[in-house]
Structure 1
């Protein structure tokens, strides 16, 4: 299988298709007030995104950013709803929804290249920001430890998705996915784990830091030099100009005022440690790994494959740590094939959501190569 350029006709056509139908959504807060999920209109960005989003050049990041909105999620550790950031699907279909998580300290913009291709394959697709990262409204900063992240994702699923998910987790997002599937098996149909960081023992010694040192470390975490270096490590082949732009994409959520508090809370809580949960996963799983991963060794892919009871594995050549960014066409095809495997084939057209005229539908298909 040959990966296409990020300027491939398929990607550009998909972007054009989905960038032209933006509209405002209205939603109710839990306490009865009416709130606005500030989705972009006519190419504008949601008002809750940092103003620096306008400086991003990546056309796919810009297009997906215009679709980010906030939905209310009621959680037990907060008196009010958390307005939780996500990208909602354009349509609903019979296949179980694909729900895309992101990696450590990232956001749904991580799926900027692959999201439109997965959606174009006629899959109901969500991209959800994990509590404490992404673009949710945390004006009253909640606890952002593993338990609260898990509970928030469950309440998001229970309130808005409501059907068993094909849950996709890249890097640390794979640990989030495994932890969630073990604790809430009724919410998960299948798992897809990409470059899975699941053998790290939480935040390790960082959880023992005095608070003032933790804040100093977190400030370094959002610095441009560190993020730039992380991008150079993460991708197998990337130009310097693209690396700078993707650094701006990757740190955009760090510019929200509650990011430091939420990240310190997570760091000091100990983080995810799911190595002992892996063998408890009963779901059918797909492992995707870049053969040139410089962050999580591809040797761990074989270990994970041997420990998951019901898993297939697909390694992508000439690819680094984030295949869904670097080789989006391959990853989208793998996700689509895996999502449909074992599903009943029905000839119903998908129901288009958020349509201006509520009548239009698109032909969704990914051409075979």
Structure 2
């Protein structure tokens, strides 16, 4: 969702020989939004689809961490031709959009968004997100994690998304027939492991792998473990095909 999250795992995937795209979802990253478009779910989806259609142009393995998993499920349900497989990491897919936040007066919504990017709240979020994190590392990630919040259009884009209702994809999960790898940090303090089991049960074609001593952001906290799991998942069909050929 935000490119800075992938600064550890992305290079490992590239080194392994995978063509890897780290995509800014409209309104959440570093894309130029000086002429602010709508940042609701449909616009985010279309923006991503146009990028895929213009540059990637073939079915992809779509990876989504946390709320990015909701983005991935929504995108796959609407554009199945663009997706080969899914990787969902500590997926936030059972929240009912932005809930009552969509009913807030704009002034209150802007006040809430201002707090959302504040240093104390970001620091506390890091403490929750990681299994164990030093003060120095948490300070570093607080600075890195709020960089995109400092763009002049970030508050407008976030309020626009909040008032639009956000992602509500629980009804789309069983529509997704793609082979899916679910990765989960065993010590996630933000989303219960019970929801990982529920997601595994509801997705028709999924496997689940847990990473020990890891919190809500395995791709940040355990990049080597995550890249290894993704590589094995990517190469799985090729290995089976080669095995069939050799047996024949």
Same fold (TM over 0.5): yes
Match of 1:160 in 2: 55
With normalisation by structure 1, the TM-score equals 0.64
Q: What's 1:273 paired with?
A: 168
| Secondary structure of residue in 2 paired with 1:180 | helix
> Is 1:194 equivalent to 2:61 in the alignment?
no
Residue 218 of structure 2 is aligned with which of 299, 305, 323?
Answer: 323
Deviation at 1:340, TM superposition (A): 1.6
RMSD: 1.2
- Secondary structure, aligned partner of 1:129: coil
Aligned with residue 288 of structure 1, among 167, 173, 183:
183
* 1: CA distance, partners of 2:34 / 2:145: 21
1:172 alignment partner in structure 2: 67
Higher relative contact order (CA 8 A, sep 6+): 2
Name the CA distance, whole Å, in 2 between partners of 1:237 and 1:272.
30
Secondary structure (helix, strand or coil) at the match of 1:168 reads strand
**What's 1:122 paired with?**
17
Deviation (angstroms), 1:341: 1.6
Work out the CA distance in 2 between the residues paired with 1:115 and 1:174: 17
Q: How many Å separate the matches in 2 of 1:298 and 1:316?
A: 11
Equivalences for residues 210-229 of structure 1 within 5 A: 210-229=105-124
- Corresponding pairs, count: 241
SS in 1 for 2:68: helix
Runs of 4+ displaced beyond 3 Å: 343-346
Does 2:217 correspond to 1:334? no
Tell me the SS of whatever aligns to 2:158: helix
Gaps of 5+ in 2: 242-248
**How far apart are the structure 1 equivalents of 2:176 and 2:165?**
22
Structure 2 counterpart of 1:360: none
Which of the two has greater helix per residue?
2
**SS in structure 1 opposite 2:22?**
strand
User: Secondary structure, in 3 states, of the residue corresponding to 1:125?
Assistant: coil
Residues 1:261 and 2:193 are matched in the alignment:
no
Could you tell me how far apart the structure 1 residues matched to 2:90 and 2:33 are? Answer: 29
CA displacement at 1:343 relative to structure 2: 3.2
Q: What's 2:44 paired with? A: 149
How far apart, in 2, do the equivalents of 1:272 and 1:116 lie? Answer: 29
Q: Secondary structure at the match of 2:21?
A: strand
What is the Cα deviation at residue 164 of structure 1? 0.6
Cα distance in 2 between the residues matched to 1:275 and 1:178 = 9
Task: Give the TM-score of the pair, scaled to structure 2.
Answer: 0.95
Q: SS state of the match for residue 170, structure 2? A: coil
Displacement of 1:345 after TM fit?
9.6
Give 1:282 deviation, angstroms.
0.8
Q: Which runs of 5+ in 1 are unaligned?
A: 1-101, 347-369
